[in-house]
Amino acid sequence: MQNFLRAVLLLFFCFASLSAQALSVIRDTEAEAVILSYLRNIFKAAGLNPQNAQVILVNDPSVNAFVAGGQTVFIHTGLLTQAQSVDDVIFVLSHETGHIVGGHITRGQGVLSQAQGAALISTILGGLVAVAGRPDAGIAVMMGGSTSAAGLFTAYRQGEESAADRTAVDIMKRLNYSMIGFENTMKTIQAQERLYAADDFSYLRTHPLTKDRINALERFVKTAKPVRADIRFDLVKAKLIGFLYEPNQTLGIYQNRTDLAAQYAKAIAFYRAHRFDEAQKMLDSLIAQKPDYPYFYELKAQFYLETGQIDKAVTYYHKAVSLMPNAPLMRLSLAQALMEKPSPDSAKEAVTHLKYVLARENDTPLAWQLLATAYEQTGNKQEIPYVMAEYYRTLGDLKAAKRQAKKALETLPKGSPSSIHAQDILDLPEEKTY
């Protein structure tokens, strides 16, 4: 009986709990900066504090975005690469902002708990029926209860989605964007629905049917103004396509275009196809046309770094950082290039950039790893155990982190910032094992 109940409860929790799947996150200063600028304007229009807006890019080809608590919007790269205009993206970001304004995540957790409670009762009852000798009846009770719980949660979520759509319409009006962006997005989602229709179960849907959403907002689409032209978005889209699509596919998409975005995508495609001379010539042309755009220099530096031309990489990273000094990821790349030049002067400069990075993004393993190497080259060896403790902490290896923190406290001056942080690592609670 114990084994049966354990199996029943496992089955229930597999169905009812929200699975935390690992996300493949993309970090890119240009994409993050551009999308964040849109989201901050949307937050302001919605009455939220723009400075609280956060953006995370998820490497996923589907057209989607979501919020998971707080004020961070997760955006699938597929939304950006498949969008026909910036208005498409603005609508989705406005829709997700609608969830934040409406407090849907917090309230949804309560509804989910209610639904899970209903399903749990049915599961236990079904288990008792099965144990009593009627396994077929037991399964019927469990499935019936689970379906009712799913219906409760689904009905709530569909109401949320409709409310978020209405908020998005208001935001789009205030910011003077076109509702054609909504129509474009819905058409793309409809194509996805047809593609994955075989895997779709109506009782698990959390969004209203796309056609119903279109019908509900049709009057706004009919009177919509033309979509906007936005070179910033075009460049981000081109960059993502260049890196995420196969080179031949990218060149096919942009073959009949000669604008800046097309040249950007082609430069990346040429590089990935090992046509290095063509890639660099294309980037030189882009720089000549837009000499104050830091991301062209950053990309040129990346190409040089990855092909072993370190001095040129450092030169172009310096230029990019001079144009955008507040970008931690750019400084991290510059530090990485500097560390490829084994000299005390390069290591000393790298330390400066790495400290800047870690003051803003201290959960970056590469930055801690590079800092340990830079300290080795500059003779600052007493800091290395603490830095390695932070490195292991960011990797989630708490045992190794504490070993290094303990070692650091043996040599660091008492009361120094590094010793205080090392003690903080030692005080981190151990994960319980069952």
Same domain flag for 96 and 166: yes
Same domain flag for 173 and 308: no
Q: Is residue 431 part of a domain?
A: no
CA distance 87 to 184: 9
204 DSSP assignment: G
Which residues lie closer than 8 Å to 282 by C-beta, 6 or more apart? Answer: 263, 266, 267, 270
CA distance 372 to 128: 59
Dihedral, 270, 273, 275, 276 alpha carbons, nearest 10: 80
Q: Is 74 helix (H, G, I), strand (E, B) or coil?
A: strand
CA distance 384 to 141: 60
Same domain flag for 263 and 316: yes
Q: Is residue 196 part of a domain?
A: yes
Q: Is residue 410 part of a domain?
A: yes
CA distance 13 to 26: 31
Q: Which helix (H) or strand (E) holds 113?
A: helix 104-131
Q: Which two tokens stand for residue 206?
A: 């959390």
Q: Put residue 116 in one of left, alpha, beta given phi > 0 → left and psi -120 to 50 → alpha.
A: alpha
114 - beta bridge partners?
Answer: none
Say whether pTM exceeds 0.75: yes
pLDDT score, position 190:
72
Strands 65-67 and 54-58: unpaired
Please report, for residues 139, 147, 397, the alpha-carbon distance to residue 203 in angstroms, rounded to integers and kept in the order given: 18, 7, 41
Same domain flag for 388 and 307: yes
> In this structure, are residues 46 and 168 in contact, taking their beta carbons and an 8 Å threshold?
no
Same domain flag for 288 and 268: yes
Same domain flag for 415 and 369: yes
pLDDT of the chain along its 434 residues, tens only? 344 333 333 333 333 333 335 678 999 999 999 999 999 999 999 999 999 999 999 999 988 888 887 889 999 999 999 999 999 999 999 999 998 997 756 444 444 444 344 444 444 444 444 444 444 443 343 344 444 444 433 344 556 787 888 888 899 899 999 888 888 887 777 776 655 554 443 323 444 455 666 655 665 666 667 888 999 999 999 999 999 999 999 999 999 999 999 999 999 999 999 999 999 999 999 999 999 999 999 999 999 999 999 999 999 999 999 999 999 999 999 999 999 988 899 999 999 999 999 999 999 999 999 999 999 999 999 999 999 999 999 999 999 999 999 999 998 999 999 999 999 999 999 765 44
Q: Which amino acid, residue 171?
A: I
> In this structure, are residues 32 and 326 in contact, taking their beta carbons and an 8 Å threshold?
no
User: What is the domain extent for residue 327?
Assistant: 231-426
Please report, for residues 36, 81, 184, 257, the alpha-carbon distance to residue 88 in angstroms, rounded to integers and kept in the order given: 15, 11, 6, 21
Domains: count for the chain: 2
Same domain flag for 240 and 350: yes
